């Protein structure tokens, strides 16, 4: 997708801006990277046509890996972007007490971010842009940098099982066109290496006992409380680092299965699973798999704890 915000660029085709403020919003003055549904707190901002188009696109194609290209810094940022206590007051304290918001697949996200930064011409050096502190190895947890509500990378990960990181590629928010060859040279190797990571981990098919694909089967790796779903062809993909794992697979009307498997570094593990139809139970329904559990909430930082206590005191005082 060339741009999620074509409206602004159509109105300002030659605008060059170093800051992070001008040009962030669409033609209706909504920041599109604050416009997606949020797992931690309700996003009350009106959903924009661009956001709805992207959500529909993502729902129809099960993407495995994604990189959202941004400008304004030089870093690979990974989920979570938000925290369980992401109030505006907490966000102020978060600036001074960075607290990572750890995703269930934190090891994979850190690996993916390092793959990009170490193959970039200079990202892994932790080059600091104006007003930014250097990023160790050129990567950061999103919330540890600053928390935000309604970001696209958290949405892709939690709603659709797509491993997405945000790639900030330039200190200048909107560099001029004549500099694009330089940016391509800086990022070409990193982009290729990053895309190749889609072939890491495990993939396969979930079928019934007659060899028919089971669509929307819930696929979850034990210890990683994020549920993925199979496509209409019964396909699934799961990016994982080398190690031993257990996979829980369940679907409406089928007996759930648990499968042990091993992931190695050289090639993805092929993992096909057969689900057998469940017998009807007394009330006439079928066995219903348990709903997926939400990811565990990260522990608040020191300042976040103070802020929560202060907010509770204010709430009690004001009734």
- Higher-confidence residue of 87 and 152: namely 152
For residue 209, the model assigns a pLDDT of: 95
Q: What is the mean pLDDT of residues 256-270?
A: 96
Q: What is the mean pLDDT of residues 145-149?
A: 90
**Domain ranges for the chain:** 32-198, 200-318
3: pLDDT confidence band, cut at 50, 70 and 90?
confident
Active-site hit among 50, 168, 215, 252: 168
For residue 31, the model assigns a pLDDT of: 85
Q: What is the mean pLDDT of residues 185-200?
A: 97
134: pLDDT confidence band, cut at 50, 70 and 90?
confident
For residue 28, the model assigns a pLDDT of: 82
Percent of the chain surpassing pLDDT 70: 75
CA-wise closest residue to 239 among 218, 268, 206: 268
pTM value > 0.85: no
CA dist list (Å): 159 to 58, 120, 152, 229 = 10, 29, 10, 10
pLDDT tens-digit readout, 42-95: 899 999 999 999 999 999 888 999 999 988 899 999 999 998 865 555 555 555
Question: CA torsion, points 187, 60, 231, 215, in degrees to nearest 10?
Answer: 160
Q: Residue 168 catalytic?
A: yes
pLDDT tens-digit readout, 44-56: 999 999 999 999 9
């Amino acid at each position: 997708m060339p741009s999620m915000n074509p409206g602004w660029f159509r109105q300002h085709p030659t605008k060059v801006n170093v800051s992070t403020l001008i040009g962030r919003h669409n033609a209706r003055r909504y920041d599109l990277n604050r416009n997606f549904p949020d797992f931690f707190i309700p996003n009350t901002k009106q959903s924009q046509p661009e956001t709805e188009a992207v959500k529909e696109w993502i729902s129809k194609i099960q993407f495995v890996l994604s990189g959202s290209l941004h400008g304004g810094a030089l870093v690979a940022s990974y989920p979570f972007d938000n925290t369980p206590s992401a109030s505006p007051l907490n966000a102020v304290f978060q600036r001074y007490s960075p607290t990572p918001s750890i995703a269930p697949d934190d090891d994979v996200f850190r690996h993916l971010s390092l793959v990009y930064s170490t193959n970039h011409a200079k990202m892994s050096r932790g080059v600091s842009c104006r007003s930014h502190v250097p990023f160790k190895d050129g990567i950061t947890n999103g919330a540890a940098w600053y928390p935000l509500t309604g970001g696209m990378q958290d949405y892709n990960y939690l709603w659709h099982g797509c491993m997405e990181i945000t790639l900030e590629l330039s200190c200048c928010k909107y560099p001029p066109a004549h500099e694009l060859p330089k940016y391509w040279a800086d990022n070409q190797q990193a982009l290729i290496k990053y895309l190749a990571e889609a072939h890491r981990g495990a993939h396969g098919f979930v079928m019934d006992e007659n060899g028919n694909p089971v669509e929307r089967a819930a696929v979850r790796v034990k210890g990683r409380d994020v549920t993925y779903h199979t496509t209409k062809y019964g396909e699934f993909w799961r990016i994982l680092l080398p190690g031993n794992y257990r996979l829980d697979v369940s679907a409406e009307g089928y007996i759930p299965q648990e499968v042990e498997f091993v992931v190695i570094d050289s090639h993805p593990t092929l993992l096909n699973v057969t689900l057998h139809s469940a017998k009807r139970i007394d009330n006439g329904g079928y066995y219903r798999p348990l709903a997926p559990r939400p990811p565990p909430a990260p522990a608040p930082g020191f300042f976040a704890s103070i802020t929560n206590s202060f907010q509770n005191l204010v709430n009690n005082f004001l009734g």
